[in-house]
Chains A and B, each alone.
Chain A
Amino acid sequence: MEKSGSSDGRKSGALTNYWLSGLTVGFLGLAIFFVISSNKKSVSQPNIALVDKKFLETTPWRQTYADLVKAKEDLSDYDCYGCHDKAKPPLIRFDSNQKLIIPKEHANIQMAHGAHERNNLCYNCHNEQNLLTLQVRDERNIKFDNIPQLCGSCHGPTYRDWDAGAHGRTSGYWDRSLGNSTRLSCANCHNPHAPHIPTREPAPGPHSLHQDTTHHERAEALH
């Protein structure tokens, strides 16, 4: 009885030893793992490039005559009588399809005002008697730095919205008592000869940690 009891004790002692040494090894392993992993960055962070500064620009797309005057830039493009003769209003020519022929001196002008292609007469806006001014349909003469008056003579509702601040860009202070605000003019965004806003490159889209492919597939399906 005694003998068997002591051999049991020896057996259980050996078992405890195995357990304890196992646990020690386990703990030491964990300790080493923690020490190593605590020095590493816990989350692998994707390398996302900074967005191009051009997408942060707030300057308008175009410069108007008024901007050029303010910036004291070269105004020779607006000196019509440098080439034209004051006494002789320039003639407008059309091809056999009644399409306007743009003279090669004005080849940089793209005529696309109005989707119907019928608004192709220069003197709808320019004043043939005095090329340094523009003319409204009621024959009022308007200077180059007062374009909204001219555009508004045809685009009434848009002019009304622009005047109220609902169309176009306004920047600066919403609280006019705390600071000034500036409202851009029509030609700061629209090319008067081709007013439709052209397409452009978008800024990069969101990067996700786990690229969600289902969205891409759906986008493809929509195309």
Chain B
Amino acid sequence: MNSSPSYTDKASDAAMSRRSFLRGCAAFGGVSALAASLAPLRELGDYTNTEQFLQKYYKELTPSDMTKVIARIEGEVERQYGIRPHVRDLKPMDGVEFVYALNLTRCIGCRKCVHACVKENNQSGSPEIQYIRVLKMPHGSMDVEKGNHNYDDKQVPEKGFFYMPIQCQQCKNPPCVKVCPVNATWQEKDGITVIDYDWCIGCRYCEAACPYWARRFNFTKPDIPKERLNPDMAYLGNRPRKQGVMEKCHFCIQRTRVGKYPACLEVCPVGARKFGNILDPESEISYILREKRVFIQLKEEMGTSPRFFYYFDK
């Protein structure tokens, strides 16, 4: 009678010690698994710090706050790319509203604009991010469903086709701005819809809302070749983005807000791209909208009212 409880006691003692050992192992394994699963956060240290985390909303930043933010960005870029950039916070100019016009009769589909844009705006090389898509479309139709942007012809233009580059249309009534849950994207008074890359949470609602597929998401940390980095940067423009934020064409803010033409226009070998201030009746863009056969605003029926116009010569 006595022996059986003592036996069970012994057994239970042994079981307890083994159990506690196993518990210890399990706890250790669990903790190390947790630590290891958090390990990727260490990489965030490269471009996230408390200063950025505590940064205020763009529209609430005072000029002295902005100076600090710009110093932080310049430091980050220099650490990552070894080049000291010149970052500016450029505000819209008074009495200016930008409009773009593209001459479909002239475009030859050479895709030079696509790559000039990548270089100017520090877009990721791999995975590839491009703001402009050039659609090759059969004559006699404006149906973008018939367009192909993967054409790999040896020579362009091909007979029987026309080429239609599509990028952000800088809508007057932008659906992407309406869906943003944190107001990280908004329309400025010169008509450019901008993104604050430090405020974006990467939910990609705007990408889904855009009828032109103009917005791009950084699925990975952007890979910008050092020798192609453009050091002339703007806060709302071409400063390097980080993983997990949206980006898109911003009419080259760093160029156009200091009076220059955008990079895609400068490189166009046939002069199909036209840009300017619609509020100035003397500008070439005013002339085009007044005198030429301005055929479409793309997907007019969506009610987005783009500031990007397509026109024809003949």
The chain A residues found within 8 Å of chain B, CB to CB, are 2-3, 6, 9-10, 13, 16-17, 20-21, 23-24, 26-28, 30-31, 34-35, 38, 42-43, 45-48, 50-51, 55-58, 60-61, 161, 164-175, 177-179, 181, 184, 189, 197, 199-209, 212, 215-216, 218-219, 222
Contacts and interface: CB of A to CB of B under 8 A. Distances in A.
A2 B114 CA distance: 84
18 contacts: A13-B11, A13-B19, A17-B22, A24-B25, A27-B26, A28-B25, A31-B32, A34-B39, A50-B125, A166-B274, A166-B287, A169-B271, A171-B266, A173-B261, A199-B157, A199-B158, A200-B155, A201-B155
B261 A174 contact: yes
Contact of A201 (B133, B154, B268, B291): B154
A175 B190 CA distance: 14
* Size class of the B contact interface (CB-based, 8 Å): 35 or more
Interface in B254-291: 256, 258-261, 265-271, 274-277, 283-284, 287-288, 291
B111 A212 contact: no
Contact of A199 (B19, B118, B126, B155): B155
B68 interface: no
Contacts of B228: 50
Nearest to B36: A34
Contacts of B109: 202
Interface string B119-155: 1000001111010010010100000001011111111
Interface majority SS on B: helix, strand, loop or mixed? mixed
B36 A35 contact: yes
B269 A61 contact: yes
Nearest to B120: A56
Interface of B: 4, 8, 11-12, 15, 18-19, 22-23, 25-26, 29-30, 32-33, 36-37, 39-40, 93, 103, 108-112, 114-116, 118-119, 125-128, 130, 133, 136, 138, 146, 148-158, 219-220, 223, 225, 228, 256, 258-261, 265-271, 274-277, 283-284, 287-288, 291-292, 313
Contact of B33 (A31, A164, A166, A179): A31
Contact of B271 (A30, A56, A170, A203): A170
B284 A199 contact: no
Contacts of B125: 48, 50
Q: Which 6 A-B pairs have the closest CB atoms?
A: A165-B284, A27-B29, A178-B259, A34-B36, A175-B259, A38-B39
A55 B269 CA distance: 10
A31 B270 CA distance: 59
A45 B220 contact: yes
A150 B259 CA distance: 32
A189 B39 CA distance: 57
Nearest to B138: A222
Nearest to B7: A6
Residue of A50, A202, A203 with most chain B CB atoms under a 10 A cut-off: A202
A178 B4 contact: no
B150 A189 contact: no
Contact of A166 (B11, B154, B277, B292): B292
